[in-house]
């Protein structure tokens, strides 16, 4: 049973029952309703009055419930958006790692190429020394060529090292951005979890109060039914005072005080 405005229900019930009891009393005094017909009519009118009195407040409670469910859906949407952001950050991290690996591969290739060239020059120098140990000019030329090639290889290696260093710096910057995005995401998810738990706790409290309201209403209905049956059985010689002097309202208010 939904939580609704008890005061509004009481007000509605008093207005409706006043109309019903006035008309029913006139019919009874005129002799048009007697005995069991009076009790049966009275019981039906009281039940109808209670139903009508609760209709508008109950609809308002249902609307509040729908609003809470909509808020829950919005929180779930925001949580999904956070997960998407996290996935995008992971994708950026993977791309950064790929760039670093490619730069490292290029560097390794350049180093190997320089080593091969260096070994080739050394082989050429050894062959020249063996073939013509007396020709210093040839040896000096070969040595100069070797030195030049080594220097070129060293320059290529330095360029490759610089490329790897730049790639490493790019990876560090990317990881820092990912960590900041992860921290922001964790904070947002934590806030959404707290809001969702508070909404669920509020909804649980309202359900508990609704169960208590249902029990109190059944008690009130049982009391009203017993008075109606007593009157229909001829145990009462006149209209009960509870109908004449608004005692039904006092009884209802008494039940209301026990509600949380």
Give me the CATH number covering residue 17. 1.10.287
Banded model confidence at residue 144, pLDDT cuts 50, 70, 90: confident
Residue 1 has pLDDT above 60, yes or no: no
Q: Domain for residue 58, yes or no?
A: yes
Q: Domain for residue 1, yes or no?
A: no
Q: Domain for residue 21, yes or no?
A: yes
Separation in Å, CA 19 to CA 33, 141, 183: 17, 125, 65
Q: Domain for residue 123, yes or no?
A: yes
For the chain, how many structural domains are there in total?
A: 1
pLDDT tens, residue by residue, 28-55:
888 888 777 888 888 888 888 888 888 8
Q: Domain for residue 126, yes or no?
A: yes
DSSP states of 46-88: HHHHHHHHHHHHHHHHHHHHHHHHHHHHHHHHHHHHHHHHHHH
Q: How far apart are the first and last CA of the chain?
A: 14
As a whole number of angstroms, the distance between CA 42 and CA 228 comes to 7
Q: Domain for residue 183, yes or no?
A: yes
pLDDT tens, residue by residue, 176-219:
776 887 888 888 888 888 988 888 887 777 677 667 667 667 76
Q: Domain for residue 193, yes or no?
A: yes
Mean pLDDT on 150-162: 81
Structural domain including 224 reads: 6-257
Distance of CA 172 to the CA centre of its chain: 33
Nearest CA among 19, 101, 29 for reference residue 52: 19
């Amino acid at each position: 049973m939904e939580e609704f405005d008890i005061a509004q229900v009481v007000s509605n019930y008093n207005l409706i029952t006043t109309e019903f009891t006035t008309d029913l009393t006139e019919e009874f005094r005129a002799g048009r309703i007697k005995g069991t017909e009076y009790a049966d009519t009275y019981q039906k009118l009281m039940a109808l009055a209670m139903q009508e009195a609760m209709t508008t407040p109950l609809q308002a409670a249902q609307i509040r419930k729908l609003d809470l469910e909509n808020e829950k859906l919005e929180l779930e949407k925001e949580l999904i958006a956070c997960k998407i952001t996290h996935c995008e950050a992971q994708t950026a991290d993977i791309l950064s790692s790929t760039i670093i690996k490619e730069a490292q591969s290029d560097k390794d290739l350049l180093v190997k190429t320089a080593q091969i060239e260096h070994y080739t020059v050394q082989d050429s120098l050894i062959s020249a020394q063996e073939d013509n140990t007396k020709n210093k000019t040839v040896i000096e030329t070969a040595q100069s060529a070797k030195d030049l090639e080594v220097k070129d290889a060293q320059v290529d290696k330095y360029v490759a090292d610089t490329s790897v260093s730049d790639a490493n710096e790019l990876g560090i910057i990317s990881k820092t951005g990912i960590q900041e995005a992860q921290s922001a995401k964790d904070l947002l998810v934590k806030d959404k979890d707290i809001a969702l738990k508070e909404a669920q706790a509020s909804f649980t409290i309202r359900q508990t109060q609704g169960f208590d309201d249902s029990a109190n209403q059944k008690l009130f209905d049982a009391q009203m039914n017993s008075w109606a049956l007593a009157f229909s059985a001829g145990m009462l010689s006149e209209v009960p005072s509870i109908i004449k002097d608004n005692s039904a309202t006092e009884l209802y208010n008494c039940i209301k005080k026990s509600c949380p």
